[in-house]
Chain A
Amino acid sequence: MPDKTILLKYTSQDAPARTKEFLGLFTAALRELDALEGVNITGVEDIGLYDDGLVVRILPEGITYRNVQEGDIRRIIELTVKKGQIIKELLAKPAAKETRVALRNCGAIDPDRIEDYIAAGGYAGLKRALFELKPDDIIAEVMKAGLRGRGGGGFPTANKWQLARKAQGARKFIICNADEGDPGAYMDRSILEGDPHSVLEGMIIAGLAFGASQGIFYVRAEYPLAVERVEKAIAAAREYGLLGERILGGAFSFDVDIRLGAGAFVCGEETALLASVEGRRGYPRPRPPYPTDHGLWGYPTVINNVETLANVPPIIAKGGGWFASMGSGKSTGTKVFALTGKVRNSGLVEVEMGVPIRDIVYSLGGGTLSGKAVKAVQTGGPSGGVIPKEHLDTPITYENLAQLGSIMGSGGMIVLDEDDCVVDICKFYLKFCVDESCGKCAPCRIGGFQMLEILERISEGKGVPEDLPKLHEIATAMQKASLCGLGQSAPNPVLSTLRYFEDEYKEHIVSRRCLTGKCKGLLVYAINQEKCKRCKMCQNNCPAGAIPGDREKGFVIDASKCIKCGRCAEVCKFGAVDRR
C-alpha cells in the first residue's frame, strides 16, 4: 500500500481540462519538496464535489480540500501530506452521504451466488424469525421499525401484515409487486438484478408473520434480466433448503412462483395485479374489500413492493429500533431514489429519510448537467408533482412531500432545469396515464383524455382562459371519482404545476409563448433579413422545403410548411435565423 494516495480533479464547468494541468503542477511540487516517495497521485473522473474548483483528496485519511489555488499546493504538501495537519480554510464540508440499506448488497455481491449473500449476512433475519420469534413478534419488530410501503402508498407495512394475519382464509398469499411502471424509475429492477435474495428472504419472513405459505413474484415482462436472476435465486434457495418444505429444518414451509406482467402500468395497482395473476383482464376492482381480506382467488393476500421487502431482513436481523433510528419522524429508515433528468450524476441513490432534497440534487447528483439553474424537481412519477426550487431545502419525508402537493411515489426524482417547460412535462405524464388507463371507469378514461386535449391545445398556442378552470374541474372529478390510484393521481402533475407555475401556463395561453422553446407549436422560425447573406445554406438544408426564395429576392421561411426542426438555424453561419 502506498503511504499516501492523492486524488485530484478540477471540478468547475469553465475549463474541465485543467485537471491534467494541476496534476502536472502537483506532481512537480511533490518532487521538488521530496515528497514523491510512497505517494500515488492521479487525476480522477469524479471526486464527489462539483463546481468547487480544484478539489484534492488525500487518502487514507480522506481529507478533502476544495477551491485549491495554485499557491496552496506547496502548503498542502508541507502540512498535510508530510505532517498530517489539516488546513481548515481549505477543508470541504462533508458531502451528503448515502445510507445503503435496501441497496446494501447491490454492487458488492454476485447476485447469482447464494454463498455471497449469506456471507454478507443473508438469511440471518430468516433464521431469527424462524427460530426465535413468533409471528406477532415479527410484526412488532416491523411495527417498531416504522417501515412503510416503498412502492408509493406509504402504508405501514406492519399494519398490512397484521390485517392479513387477522383475516380468515384457508390459504394466504404474499405477492411481491415488481411491476415497477413509473417512467424513469428502476430501483426495483436494480434490487432484483443485484440482490434478489434480499427480496426472497423478505417474502419468506412476511409469510411467517401472517401465515402465508405461497409467494408470488409479479414481475413486469420488460425486465428479463431481473426475471432470470430471480429464477436463479429461487433455484439456489430451494437447493439450500431455504425455500420449500420445512425450511432450515423447521416447521415452516413456503414456496414461490413467478408471474410475468403483460405490458400494463395499471397492473401495478393492487387489485388490477390480482386480476392479472388470476388470468383476467387487468381491471381494478373497488376497495373495500381490501386484498388483505379478499385478495388472490378471494384469499387474504398481502402485496408488498420490492424495496419494502428488501428492507425486511435487516430489520429482523438488527431490530426495528435500528431501522427507526434512521430517518425522520414518521418516515423512518431510508429510501432509494432514481435521480434522473437534467442532473449530472444520474443513477440510484439511497438516503435516510429527512435528507434535504437539495443535498440529493446537488451533493449527490452534482447539480445540473447544463450548469443552468434547477427549475423544479419532479417526484413520484406520473402520480406526483413538482417541487419548485424555492422548496429544495425541504427534508424528504412522506408528509413533507404531500404538503407540497407531491408524493414520494416509488422514488422517481426528475430534475428539471430552466430549459424545461412545465406544460410539456405535464403533457408527457398525462399522455402516459391516458395510454395506460385501463378504460374501466369514465372519470379516468375520458377525463384524462379531455385534460390531455386541453394541454395539447395550450402547447400549440390554441389555449383559452377557460382552459385553466376546466383543467381544475376535470382534475377534481378524476381525483374523487376514479376507481383506482391511476386515475385518482393522474391529474397530480397538472395540479402541482398549476399551483407553482401558473404564470407559465398563462404565458402559453395568453401570450402564446413558450419561453423554453420546448412547445414546438409555439415556436416560430424566421429569417432575420438584415443578417441574412443570401448564401442559400438554409434552403439547401431544409428537410421540409419550407424556405422558398432565391439569391436575388432573398429567402423567407414558410410557417405552414416549417416543421421546426431547427436545421436552418444550425447551418446558418451568420446567425440570421431567429427562433421565437
Chain B
Amino acid sequence: MIKATINGIAVEVPEGTSILDAAGKVHVKIPTLCKHKDLEASAACGICIVKVKGWSKMLRACCTPVENGMDITTHDPEIVKIRRTVLELILSTHPNECLTCGRNNDCELQKIAADFGIREEEFPKHLRDIKQDASTKTIVLSPQKCILCGRCVNVCQEHQNVWALSFLDRGIKTRISPAGDIKLSDSPCIRCGQCSNHCPTGAICEHDETAPVWDALRNPKKHCVVQIAPAVRVAIGEAFGFPLGANLTGKLVAALHRLGFHAVFDTSFGADITVMEEASEFVRRFRDGEGKLPLITSCCPAWVDFLEKSHPDMIPYFSSCKSPHQIVGVLSKTYYAKKRGIDPADIFVTSIMPCTAKKHEIGRSDEMFASGHQDIDISLTTRELARMLKQSGVDFASLPDEQPDDLLGQYSGAGVIFGNTGGVMEAAVRTAYNFVTGEDMGKLEIADIRGLEGVKEAKLEVGGEIVRIAVAHGLKNVEYLLEKVRAGVKGGGEPPYHFIEVMACAGGCIGGGGQPYGVTDELRRKRMRGLYSEDEANAIRYSYKHPAVERIYKEFLGKPLGKTSEELLHTEYRARPLYVK
C-alpha cells in the first residue's frame, strides 16, 4: 500500500492508484474534462493538474500514480487560476451554440464551465472551419464542437478495433476525422455509436429522428406500433433519477401508450423467436452436420457490419437469422397486421433501441423490406426516447405500470436477457438443449459466460456431447476467437468452438452506443443485474414454452426454418468494402 497526503489529509491506496482516484477516497474532487471513468486517461486537457511538493512541474492527477510520501495539493489560488485559464482557452475554440445543441443540459463542457463560474470570454474566438458529417444518417460528427479529448479515437481504435476515426493534422489544425477526411459513411465505421456515447460535448451525437415519430403519432391515418429493446428498460431510469439498473418496463409501456402508440410490443419476444430459429440452426449444424461450425450470432448489426467488412471469410459461419429487432418489425407488418385486419401500409413501426447501428440496420438490404414495406420505419435510441418523454407532458416517474400489448408483447425470461453479454448464448442454449435432448435444461445460469471479461468460454454437456461455447463483447476481443477458429479450420479436426456470441458493445446491448451517458463497468453490472432479475422472476424461462411463441408458430410461421420463416425471418450477408471509393 502507498501512503501519501492530499491537501494535508493522509491517504493509503494500493500501488498504481492514480492521484485522481486516491483523492476521491478522501472526498476530494479534482476537476477533470477529458477523462472518462470508462476509459484510460489520455492526459490531454490539462484541467486535472495538481501540485506535488518537490516537483517543479504540475502533474496530471488522472494518469499519475501515487508514490510513497507524495505531498499533494489539489486546490490553491495558483492551480485554480491555471485550470481556469486552460478552460477558457478550450472555450475559445468552442462555438457558443448551447441553446440549440443536442447536448444542452447534458454536456460535460457546459457543466465544468458552470462549475468554474465562467462569466466572460477571455480569449478571442477561434473556430475551425470544418463541416458537419451526417453521412451515416446514424451518427453526426460536428467537429467544430470537438475539444479533442480523444475519447472517441480511443474507443474506435483500441476498444472497437474499427479505426474509423483518427487524429488528422497537428497543432491548432488537429481534428478528428476518418482518414483522408473522407465521409464517415465511406469509412470502416460500423455505427456502433460508442464514440457518441463517450463524447463529452455535442461533437458526436446520434442522428435525432424523433420528429418523424411525432409526425406519425399525430397522423390519424397511421397505426403506430413501438417495440422496446431489453436494454432500454434498465437504463431509461437514469434520465429520471431512478436507482441505477432499475427495471422500468411497466412505466415505459405506460408512457408509450400515453404518447399515442396503439400497441407497445417487446423486442424480447423477437428474441424468443430468434432463439427458436437459431437453436434450430444450431441443431442442424451440430447434430446433423449440415453447415459450418461454429455458429456465430448475428443479432448485433454493428458486429454484422464489422464481419462483412473485416472478416468476410467468416460469413458462412453466421446465423442467417435476423435480429430480434427486425423480427418484431416484419411480424408487426405481417402477422399483427393480418390478425388485426390493418393495412400494413398504414402501420408505422418505431423501435426504441440502446443502439445507433439499428438506425442503419433497418435499411440494410432488401430483406429488411420482407413485409412488402420497410419493416421498421424508425429506430430511436434510448437517449432520443428520454427527450421525447420529457417533451411529452407525461410525468414518467410517477406513472403506474401497464402491460404490453398482445401478440408481440409477451416474452420469456430467456428473451429479455438478450441485452446482456452472454445473454443471447444462455437463452439460445436453453432451447438448443431441448431441441437436441428433448428435455428441459436444469441449471440455467452459465456462470462462465456471465460478467465483463472480454472473452468468455465454457463447455457444456448436451445429450452426452460436449458443446464448446464462447462469448466476446467489445470488438477488440473478437480477433482472438476468430483466429482460433481459422487455425482450427486450417489444422483440420474439431472446431475450437461450436457456438459463438458476439456483441460489439462492451457489456452487450446494455452498454450500447445509444444508451444514456456516463457508462462504467459498475453501471454495466447494475444494468445487467436488472435484466437477469427479470429473467429469474419470470414464470416462463424457456422460449419454446412460451404460449405466445407456440401460438405464432402454430398460426403463422409453421415451424422454425420453415418456408415462412425463411422468407420473413432470415437474411443473407455479403462482403463489403472497408473503404468506399
Query: A488 vs B49: C-alpha distance in the bound complex, in angstroms?
Result: 13
Say yes or no: B46 contacts A482, CB within 8 Å: yes
Say yes or no: A286 contacts B174, CB within 8 Å: no
A443-B86, A445-B174 given; A481·B124 CB < 8 A:
no
Q: Does A343 contact B (CB under 8 A)?
A: no
Of chain B, the residue at the smallest CB distance from A473 is B85
Q: Does B57 contact A (CB under 8 A)?
A: yes
Q: Contact string, B124-150, partner A, CB cutoff 8 A, digits 1/0? A: 101000000000000000000001101
Q: Contact string, B40-82, partner A, CB cutoff 8 A, digits 1/0? A: 0111111101000000011110011101000000000000011
Say yes or no: B86 contacts A439, CB within 8 Å: no
Q: Once A and B bind, how many residue pairs between them come within 8 Å at the CB atom?
A: 110
Q: Contact string, A442-462, partner B, CB cutoff 8 A, digits 1/0? A: 110111111001000000000
Query: A482 vs B86: C-alpha distance in the bound complex, in angstroms?
Result: 10
Q: Does B123 contact A (CB under 8 A)?
A: yes
Q: Contact string, A271-309, partner B, CB cutoff 8 A, digits 1/0? A: 000000000010101101100000000000000000000
Contacts of B171 in A (CB 8 A): 434-439, 445, 448-449
Contacts of A437 in B (CB 8 A): 170-172
Q: Does A227 contact B (CB under 8 A)?
A: no
Contacts of B92 in A (CB 8 A): 446, 450
- Max chain A Cβ within 10 angstroms of own Cβ: one of B43, B47, B93, B167: B43
Q: Does B169 contact A (CB under 8 A)?
A: yes
Q: Does B575 contact A (CB under 8 A)?
A: no
In A249-284, the 8 Å CB interface with B consists of: 264, 266, 281, 283
Contacts of A441 in B (CB 8 A): 43-46
Interface of B: prevailing SS = loop
Q: Contact string, A397-441, partner B, CB cutoff 8 A, digits 1/0? A: 000000000000000000000000000000000000011111111
Q: Does A476 contact B (CB under 8 A)?
A: yes
Say yes or no: B170 contacts A439, CB within 8 Å: yes
Query: A441 vs B90: C-alpha distance in the bound complex, in angstroms?
Result: 10
Say yes or no: A483 contacts B44, CB within 8 Å: yes
Contacts of B90 in A (CB 8 A): 442, 446
Q: Does B173 contact A (CB under 8 A)?
A: yes
Say yes or no: A446 contacts B89, CB within 8 Å: yes
Say yes or no: B57 contacts A264, CB within 8 Å: no
Say yes or no: B172 contacts A286, CB within 8 Å: no
Q: Does A391 contact B (CB under 8 A)?
A: no
Query: A579 vs B423: C-alpha distance in the bound complex, in angstroms?
Result: 81
Query: A266 vs B85: C-alpha distance in the bound complex, in angstroms?
Result: 23
Say yes or no: A281 contacts B167, CB within 8 Å: yes
Say yes or no: B45 contacts A449, CB within 8 Å: no
Query: A474 vs B65: C-alpha distance in the bound complex, in angstroms?
Result: 27
Say yes or no: B49 contacts A481, CB within 8 Å: yes
**A439 touches which of B82, B85, B126, B167 (Cβ 8 Å):** B167
Contacts of A435 in B (CB 8 A): 171
Say yes or no: B82 contacts A481, CB within 8 Å: yes
Contacts of A449 in B (CB 8 A): 126, 171-172
A439-B174, A442-B89, A483-B46 given; A453·B124 CB < 8 A:
yes
Contacts of B57 in A (CB 8 A): 480, 488
Query: A247 vs B174: C-alpha distance in the bound complex, in angstroms?
Result: 47
Query: A441 vs B34: C-alpha distance in the bound complex, in angstroms?
Result: 10
Minimum CB–CB distance from A339 to chain B (whole Å) comes to: 30
Query: A504 vs B65: C-alpha distance in the bound complex, in angstroms?
Result: 45
Contacts of A448 in B (CB 8 A): 171-172
Minimum CB–CB distance from A514 to chain B (whole Å) comes to: 23
A-B pairs, 4 with minimum CB distance? A439-B174, A481-B46, A477-B85, A437-B171
Q: List 12 A-B contacts (CB under 8 A).
A: A283-B167, A289-B65, A439-B167, A441-B43, A441-B46, A442-B86, A442-B89, A446-B93, A450-B123, A480-B58, A480-B82, A481-B47
Contacts A439-B169, A474-B85, A483-B43 known; list 4 others, CB within 8 Å: A281-B166, A437-B172, A442-B90, A474-B89
